[in-house]
A and B are shown apart, each in its own frame.
Chain A
Amino acid sequence: MLRYTEYPPKGYRVRVSTYWWTGRWAYLKFILRELSSLFVAWFVLETLLQIHALIGGSSAYADFQAFLRQPVVIVLNVISLFFVLLHVVTWFNLAPKAIAIRLGGKRLPSLAIAGSNYVAWVVASVVVAWLVLRG
């Protein structure tokens, strides 16, 4: 019986370079997409630090705002936004492959599924921005 094993069976194997993903743009794009998770984690850490500052009172909060204004932190956050947007685009464009909705026996076109994801994204962003900015 065939059994799933985590490793390929022993025997002849072609050595793959550790830098296999540098050879082609598609491979590099894949690795960049996968690396977006690091910036997602950085965002969570930053948010937790912000909550920690919020607990610490208004002067601790002001200190944290000063930290966010440091050029190094700004640059890191610009890079983070780039990677998070890469995550958004790749995630929503893959959604039609993961979600198969059938309506009247026909599969809903990819564009409708990806499109509804983008609409949800805009709506969520507007709601968050409105709540934070309404003053």
Chain B
Amino acid sequence: MAKRSNEPFLWLLFSAGGVVAALLIPIQLFLFALAFPLGWLHAPGYDQVLALARSLLGRAYLLILCILPLFHWAHRFRYTLYDGLQIKHLNELVNTVCYGGATVGAIAAAYLIWRIP
């Protein structure tokens, strides 16, 4: 019997991450990286951001916002390198860097979100 591929599982993570990235990243990026730093909108203060982030819902939201898009990146970037640069001989390395990087990022995200006071 052929070895069972983990491709469907990785694709599922890619797909779920793609949905999260599409739905939530534009507004997050617009507010926190452009509108607030440039003074277009009144930025919420430290206490207010902390209150939003530390709630159970806030932590769950941040966990989803960070972890799923990381695996979306891993899968898509792996194939970008595969198709774009034709570095098939480096397949193993590319896979390790992409999925390994996403896993390390996910662990770091979980740790940081858990540490929010």
Contacts and interface: CB of A to CB of B under 8 A. Distances in A.
Interface of A: 3, 6-7, 16, 18, 21, 31, 34-38, 40-41, 43-48, 50-52, 54-55, 58, 61-62, 65, 68-69, 73-74, 77-78, 80-81, 84-85, 87-88, 91-92, 98, 117, 120-121, 124-125, 128-129, 131-133, 135
Given A47-B28, A54-B50, A133-B42, 14 more contacts: A7-B88, A37-B76, A47-B65, A47-B66, A61-B46, A65-B36, A73-B33, A81-B26, A81-B30, A87-B21, A117-B22, A128-B27, A128-B28, A128-B31
A91 B14 CA distance: 12
A84 B29 contact: yes
Interface in B10-31: 15, 17-19, 21-31
Interface in B71-88: 72-73, 76-77, 79-80, 83-86, 88
Nearest to B76: A37
B63 to A, nearest CB: 11
Interface of chain B, main secondary structure: helix
18 contacts: A6-B91, A18-B84, A35-B80, A40-B21, A45-B105, A47-B32, A51-B53, A51-B109, A54-B49, A54-B116, A62-B46, A65-B37, A78-B34, A84-B26, A88-B22, A91-B19, A128-B27, A135-B48
Given A47-B62, A74-B37, A128-B27, A38 B77 contact: yes
Chain A CB within 10 Å, residue with most, of B2, B22, B34, B38 = B22
Given A7-B88, A80-B33, A92 B22 contact: yes
A132 B31 CA distance: 9
A74 B38 contact: yes
Contacts of B4: none
Q: Is the interface of A mostly helix, strand, loop or mixed?
A: helix
Contact of B25 (A16, A40, A52, A135): A40
